[in-house]
A and B are shown apart, each in its own frame.
Chain A
């Protein structure tokens, strides 16, 4: 018998989901400890939203078991709903109601007593910096304000587990940073947050643990640091003046790190390189000796694609084929 505190906030065992011929999830396993921000990182179509919908009881898995706060999302869906909050990929607010009315309505639907629903709505409006717009209809809100209102609605009932599906997509950098602060606060107060994102930077900034999802499978799991280590620190991207130079450049870069990634259209070859001093100068000398002319050179943080590359040796679109092969 496990005690309540050591019980995972989210447990996913072999969950699959198919829509007709599309296999959105192909056997996902996850364990999220309580009180942390957990990032689900993956490109378009990876299956992030599908997993969130299953965990939030909106869809049933085709097979497998999922538990939230120790409750089965299919058989105990009603109980799960009273313990979770959801802010879906698209802000779900009633345009014709004011900010306050929206939050009050959600509070009442959580069966809070009328006066409690009212005061909770007030508190949240202040917490999310919407005081000036509290009595304005949501249709007059900017994208960022809607997002904040949506997030406020998701936490009206002080949920044990909060699901945020791409909470910052479409926000300007300023609003994004504000929202990050709010999510930090929530996690500090003990809420388990599962958020999906397409940005490594965001997962890095917020999440204590990250699972990388692609084509319906978790292909890696760990802290941001661990994932980046697998990329190997930073990424060196080299732009070439013409396409003939791509192949020689690729051969040279192959000596210095993981498999280089070639983007023919952009005439770019990139490779994850370690943190050894002098490595960049060494690579440039090698390119020069190999008569490769470099038009431009960038040294950057690993992107989501770089993570995929390091994890799989392939760009994300190719992972599918590889995994398919491995399963046969």
Chain B
């Protein structure tokens, strides 16, 4: 299996998954209406009550909610793979002379594309309600960039969940139980200092906090204070865990 065919196979799989994004209304909603709704709800309902370090809440919130949204995108990865496993499509794919990795890389690539789209959309809407980048153009691109990068290993872990889970419903349960605490016990929506003392170390140790802080510092054009490096290290570490898990789950006979 040479590199050219490996790329070809994963391109075909990417295209298939992107078509599914466009055609499945629930997928489309989850990458358009839902994130915008969260952005507006947080800004206008909670924004007034939350004390932040930035001049206004939207400037604080946008990077946080962006990281949360792209990390939530991992659900699509897990659900998509679980669905494929359930419909018997996997059996067909596994009987074809294609790269073993293509099913997963095709899924992940499509989900990264979706995340790029979501990030662009959210920043666009953010602009309309007062969000502004404070740094250089490069930092402004790096801000959503690091969010999308960090979402990749999370999607990889979720891919393993999706491939192992018994049903699409159980993916939903496992996913929500895992992802809500992880995204909320972080600096995404409120400053860590505003949390009870016992919770602060948890939020601080959360890799999600590092990614949010990195993305936020880049958006504001502030010193990233090692958060970018920490996020990159976490990304590599989580990928190193996610890839073997995913491959094993995929090759598991069912």
Contact = CB atoms under 8 A, between A and B. Distances in A.
B91 A94 contact: no
A105 B8 CA distance: 12
Contacts of A97: 16, 19
B105 to A, nearest CB: 14
B230 interface: no
Given A59-B253, A92-B89, A106 B19 contact: no
Given A57-B95, A81-B97, A137-B23, A105 B16 contact: yes
B181 interface: no
Counting chain A CB atoms within 10 Å of each CB, which of B1, B12, B88, B95 scores highest? Answer: B95
B1 A94 contact: no
Contacts of A56: 95
Task: Classify the secondary structure of B's interface with A.
Answer: helix
A88 B16 contact: no
Contacts of B5: 111
A111 B253 contact: no
Given A82-B97, A101-B19, A105-B16, A92 B8 contact: no
Nearest to B9: A109
Given A59-B253, A78-B1, A86 B91 contact: yes
A91 interface: yes
A320 to B, nearest CB: 24
Counting chain A CB atoms within 10 Å of each CB, which of B8, B23, B24 scores highest? Answer: B23
B96 interface: yes
A119 interface: no
A105 B89 CA distance: 12
Interface string B65-107: 0000000000000000000000111111111111000000000
B20 interface: yes
Range of interface residues on B (Cβ < 8 Å): 20 to 34
A179 interface: no
A106 B9 CA distance: 10
A91 B97 contact: no
B96 A105 contact: no
Given A111-B8, A137-B23, A58 B97 contact: no
A109 B93 contact: yes
A82 B95 CA distance: 9
Contact of B92 (A79, A88, A137): A88
A60 B88 CA distance: 18
B135 to A, nearest CB: 40
A96 interface: yes
A53 B8 CA distance: 26
Contacts of B90: 92
Contacts of A79: 97
A299 interface: no
Given A105-B12, A111-B5, A96 B20 contact: yes
A110 B23 CA distance: 25
Interface residues of A, number: 32
A95 interface: yes
Contacts, number: 67
Interface string A134-165: 00010000000000000001000000000000
Nearest to A56: B95
A94 B16 contact: yes
A110 B8 CA distance: 11
A82 B99 CA distance: 12
Contacts of B98: 109
Contacts of B94: 57-58
Counting chain A CB atoms within 10 Å of each CB, which of B16, B19, B92, B98 scores highest? Answer: B92
A93 B90 CA distance: 10
A153 B97 contact: no
Contact of A81 (B87, B96, B253): B96
A153 B94 CA distance: 14
Contact of B88 (A59, A84, A91): A91
Contact of A95 (B87, B91, B253): B87
A108 interface: yes
A189 B26 CA distance: 44
Contact of A109 (B12, B19, B24): B12
Contact of B95 (A84, A89, A94, A108): A84
Report, nearest first, the 6 A-B pairs whose CB atoms are least far apart.
A92-B88, A81-B97, A92-B92, A82-B97, A86-B95, A90-B88
Interface of A: 53, 56-60, 78-79, 81-82, 84-86, 88-97, 101, 105-106, 108-111, 137, 153
23 contacts: A57-B94, A58-B91, A58-B94, A59-B253, A79-B97, A81-B95, A82-B97, A85-B95, A88-B91, A88-B92, A90-B88, A91-B88, A92-B90, A96-B19, A96-B20, A96-B23, A101-B19, A106-B92, A106-B96, A108-B8, A109-B93, A110-B96, A110-B97
Given A78-B97, A92-B87, A92-B92, 9 more contacts: A57-B94, A79-B97, A81-B95, A81-B96, A91-B88, A92-B91, A96-B20, A97-B16, A109-B96
